[in-house]
Amino acid sequence: MNGLSLFANVGIAETYLHKVGVDIVVANELLEERAKFYRHLYPSCNMIQGDITNEDVYKSIIDESKRKNVEFILATPPCQGMSIAGYMLPEDPRNYLITYAVEAIKALQPKYVMLENVFMQLKTFINYNDKRILIPDLIDEVLGNEYYIEKKVVDTKYYGVPQQRKRAIILLARKDQETPWFFPKEDYHIITLREAIGDLPSLDPLIKEKEYRHIFPDYEKKRLEGLKVSKWHFRQFNTAYIEIPKKQGKSELAAAVALYLLCADFEPGAEVYGCAADKDQARIVFDVAMDMVKRCPHLFNKMSIQASLKTMNYLPTGGKYKALSADVANKHGFNTHGVIFDELHTQPNRKLYDVMLQGSGDARMQPLYFLITTAGNNQNSICWEVHQKALDIIDGRKHDPTFYPVIYGAAPEDDWTDPKVWKKANPSLGITVSMDKVRAAFESARQNPAEENSFRQLRLNQWVKQAVRWMPMDKWDACAFPVDPDALEGRVCYGGLDLSSSTDITAFVLVFPPINEDDKYSVLPFFWIPEDNIDLRVRRDHVNYDVWKKQGYLQTTEGNVVHYGFIEKFIEQLGEKYNIREIAFDRWGAVQMTQNLENLGFTVVPFGQGFKDMSPPTKELMKLTLEQKLAHGGHPVLRWMMDNIYIRTDPAGNIKADKEKSTEKIDGAVATIMALDRAIRCGNVTSESVYDTRGLLVF
């Protein structure tokens, strides 16, 4: 079968295609140097070098492909405009190159097609035929009648490759073909580098393979010299971060590591500490270790155990293992050889972490800090900080040869209802925990949305915003109906203003009530942060403020504090475009600005933040979301804030968003709730309140 390679680069993607009967006979590459190298590698292929957007170049590709009877197309468009490593600008021209591949498919009608790119391609919008559309939806729309289409985010580590690399793969098979094309089954046996290349001779100066020693005639002499200064016999890693779901043997692993450090390192007077947030948690790993010792007579005879003090002493070296809790965080003087930190995400603060890890092992030759935990729900914690470092090292953004990261869990884009994802996240599924137990927990979470976050956190090891999620984000995303600011010009609307602090996010949200029964409540949010601290906030909060700014979803004001005068001017300009009837505001900290807005001719309405005022519109927001009577355009900043909401409930069943309990910012959500209240009460024509006619929603 003859094939065409678009955006071919130097031909890496087609290296092994000949093994499955595909012969690439036509190719296209933009850059001359790459095209030259491609011709060197594939001399029999007609490489057409040039810009595919050039009409003559594109025509040459199509004409030559028809002449060579091309029946297969491989297309790997540039990824820079979609990659999370770049700016992800929505209008990056490189994102639109996929349309040339689509047009080539339409023109050539090949039997099979493979499209490959970064996983964000599946979530990237482009304009096509005067319509805003997701790339995968475009492919379905244009080619779905003629082709069977399969789409998947593939991680290479599940296909026999000793590398973690996620790519979006789209497979197309023409419907008249008898041979289907589908993704092969994932193999959850991860091939390590040791398995892949472990048979190669060691590069260690202490060469263990005797058959290779003849290559180094001075081996014995240099071996003795090297031993005087070598640290190769010491462990490379002094910090290990293991993040894994519950019931996967964390306690057993931690206990085994603790005993190894105590007994097998032969460290004189070794001090090994098991740390946790409280005494009960600290006791868990210690009790498991004690049980292991009791089951080994040889080890038991060398150990002195003081169960009441949660201490065991290893007599041959004078070492000890002791369980500690967070209440010793103010103590110092530890000379640690090993630290076992159990459930790091439960630490109330970083005091104990700093005491045990910052310098406590400097007097030891090879201390080990073993951090083991399940994912948490506080992204301002020490565990989240270490989690981010682990991800940075895994993804290659940071390099630390002494830090060993291991994270088992579902990716953010994974389907939490899929049993394959459960297996991926739980390496000990079917051994330490049965599939039936996980399935039962899932069914409970599916029937009770309040349990969803708990299932994701504990069973799938996903970091969540809060233990109990209020807003079901799939329902919120279903309300991402387009909101055209220009089409709303002149419409009646109501504003919600949440100033927060001068160094934080300021939110102003306009809500437009529906003009008829088929219309929706339209939400138009605006956000501001100080210009000077945006980079600091990105590093500190691990939130894409800089990306949102580039995309136009977030604005900055000059200086290191929010310039309220700038916002007042901006609102004044909005008032010239829209019919802003009222602006609701939180009384706290907004006195001066509201006075200024009144002087500009706006009607400002103080809005209480207690249960009485907040409960009705908060419940109404949920109702409108579930009924898809809300349109918010998928604004990413507002979505992030909605996902952050923690809801408090009083004995009477009233609810409100709690800024203190919410782990991250919710200013935009609060502003939306206030604006929605005024929009519902006042509407377009009447001042009659829906609460007066229908009553309060209680659920």
Q: Are 580 and 602 in contact (CB under 8 A)?
A: yes
Q: Say what the alpha-carbon torsion angle 581, 583, 584, 589 is, to the nearest 10 degrees.
A: -160
Q: Are 346 and 432 in contact (CB under 8 A)?
A: no
- Return d(Cα 45, Cα 35) in angstroms, integer: 11
Query: Which two tokens mark 452?
Result: 């969803």
Question: Which residue has 């009837």 as its token pair?
Answer: 581
Taking alpha carbons only, the member of 346, 361, 345, 350 closest to residue 273 is: 361
Q: Provide the residue type at 503 as one letter.
A: T
- Judged by DSSP in three states, 122 sits in helix
> Per this entry, what is the length of the chain?
699
Handedness of CA 554, 557, 562, 563 (dihedral sign): negative
CB neighbours (10 Å) of residue 285? 29
| φ and ψ of 653, to 5 deg | 90, 5
> Is 79 designated active site?
yes
Taking alpha carbons only, the member of 367, 333, 327 closest to residue 347 is: 327
Determine the straight-line distance between the first and last CA of the chain, rounded to whole angstroms.
62
Query: Which two tokens mark 59?
Result: 């025509």
Per the DSSP assignment, residues forming a β-bridge with 151 are 170
Alpha-carbon distances, residue 356 vs 324, 337, 340, 380, 406 (angstroms): 10, 10, 10, 20, 21
- Judged by DSSP in three states, 204 sits in coil
Query: Which two tokens mark 650?
Result: 């009083």
The active-site residue, picked from 45, 79, 383, 479, is 79
Which 8-state DSSP code applies to residue 155? E
Query: Which two tokens mark 676?
Result: 């929605």
- Judged by DSSP in three states, 221 sits in helix
CB neighbours (10 Å) of residue 303? 19
The residues carrying an active-site annotation are 79
